[in-house]
Amino acid sequence: MQIALAQINFIIGNFEYNVHRILEAIRKAKKVNADLIVFSELAVTGYPPLDLLEHRRFVEKAIECVHQIARECDDIAAIVGAPSFNPSDSGKVLFNSAYFLCDGKVKSVHHKSLLPTYDIFDEYRYFEPNREFQIIEYKGKKIALTICEDLWDNPPVEYALGRSRLYTVSPMKELLKFHPDFIINISASPFEYNKIEVKKTIFTRYARETRLPLFYVNQVGAHTDLIFDGGSMVISPEGKIVDTLHFFREDFKVYLLEDVMKDTSVDFSFEQDEIEQMHDALVLGIRDYFAKTGLKSAILGLSGGIDSAVATVLAVEALGHEQVKVLLMPSKFSSEHSVTDAVELAKRLNIEYHIVPIQFIVDSFLTTLQPYFDGLPVDVTEENIQARVRGVLLMAMSNKFGHLLLNTSNKSEIAVGYGTLYGDMNGGLSVLGDVYKTNVYRLAQHINRNTELIPINILTKAPSAELRPNQKDSDSLPPYEILDEVLFRYIEQQKSIEEIVSEGFHSEVVERIMRMVNANEYKRFQTPPILKVTSKAFGQGRRMPIVARY
């Protein structure tokens, strides 16, 4: 049996486009005499469709599309993800389903059993969990079909992820009762920079423990803040990775089942390091956000600092230099080298830039406010006016020319509130909001791995907001090397103050950082969508109350 894997970048709710791409892949598979072609989870709708699933016509249209696709499956079978209605009078209205299409019709429908409700996932909001198990019999083979989380119930894997066992049922244990010949898992698993190894562990363990070959098909592409890395895999019964489809781009391959079932000493090795993965994910996230919304061009504030430099390079890689514009907006506190560094980067990237001095605008604000501020000391208010003037200028250019403003704040700053609402926190998409400051430097080094694209002075000078004389980030924050370690433990690992202190950090430092994180939740509620590259990004994956005293 020849099995084709189709790793496609779908668009949520664009049924015409998604069906076209699925039919295109089916016809391609037919030409190479494939017997079965497999697509990702909720391929017809794109994942995640969220509250679109609450619109009955949306689901009906998806099911109509499934039947349209089935008509193409006359001499080939296909497995396609789409929602289906729950016929029962009780439970949720929908199932998250995989349709088995053959002989021009829907032969069977298989539902997802394990519905994740952690991090960014909220599938139980929409779907009823499956409780009845069946296999697919096709061309003399028995297929155990699973959907994404259905293979994430292995206790050793869950414990390695730092969580207790989430589920009381194991779909694979139920399916093994039918003595299948191989496993298929269709998935929409979002990217995290350290998750590729976790996926390898899960799938190789299942293949090895069941002594069955495993075919895993993942979605690729970005949907708003979520990035899907692809990396579909084929694994032998010995638990060795026979092959992996490309990461961060579409791919299509055909495999002979009998070859996969043979013993092999070859184990595929994925050598891309975590910063390279993060880089490629962010470029894909920017590119798809623009492509899928119909936006064409971006604008950024280029300050001469590391964050705006890295964000600008990523935007150019994603969109091309013609579609990226930058404003340099110096004030009286801006150092000369900040302007020259920014100009040098803009020239190296061959992007359009404009220098717009802001001091006279700031002075106008201060003059207007002077009667009300008279006798009061200068403080952060005056600093924030500078940031907000820059925000107004960038948004004016965005409005006038249709550019999307890209936000350049990093995760460390967003975590502790080191940013100005309606100023440097403006934007339609946050490029680095899930990248800690120390990793921003690592991204810059990766960008400069072959040639010095980002001027070296940007990498070596002390970080500064340049909103007051001789200002340095270290005046207000602990060193980033310490700050990021503490933030990672608190945000990603959800450790307590006591646990973090027990690892060797000073209690005063940890308590201060915790206070800053907790006191700035209101700012994070107003940030643009943040491209997710870690296990716990700000936004829909981390839901904290603004009004709380914990």
- Report the catalytic residues: 41, 112, 148
Residue 164 phi/psi, 5° resolution? -75, 165
**Can you count the helices (H) and strands (E) in the chain?**
18, 19
Exposed / middle / buried, residue 250 (Cβ in 10 Å: 0-12, 13-18, 19+): middle
SS3 content of the chain, % helix, strand, coil (to 5): 40, 20, 40
Residue 230's contacts (CB-CB under 8 Å, 6 or more residues apart) are 7, 218, 219, 220, 245, 246, 247, 248, 249, 250, 251
Contact 313, 447 (CB under 8 A): yes
At 81, the amino acid letter reads G
Give me the helices (H) in 218-305, please: 257-261, 274-293
Contact 143, 136 (CB under 8 A): yes
- 137, containing H or E segment: strand 136-138
Exposure on the CB side of residue 176, measured as CA atoms within 13 A: 11
Distance CA 476, CA 471 (A): 9
Kindly report the three-state secondary structure assignment for every residue of 413-450.
HHHHCCCCCCCCCCCCEECCCCCCHHHHHHHHHHHCCC
- The long-range contacts involving 343-348, CB below 8 angstroms and separated by at least 24 positions, are 344/455, 345/302, 345/309, 345/312, 345/313, 345/453, 345/454, 345/455, 345/458, 346/302, 346/312, 348/453, 348/455
Q: Which two tokens stand for residue 88?
A: 């029962």
Neighbours of 338 (CB within 10 A): 21
**Beta-ladder partners of 100:** 79, 108
Residue 261: closest CA among 148, 199, 180, 198: 180
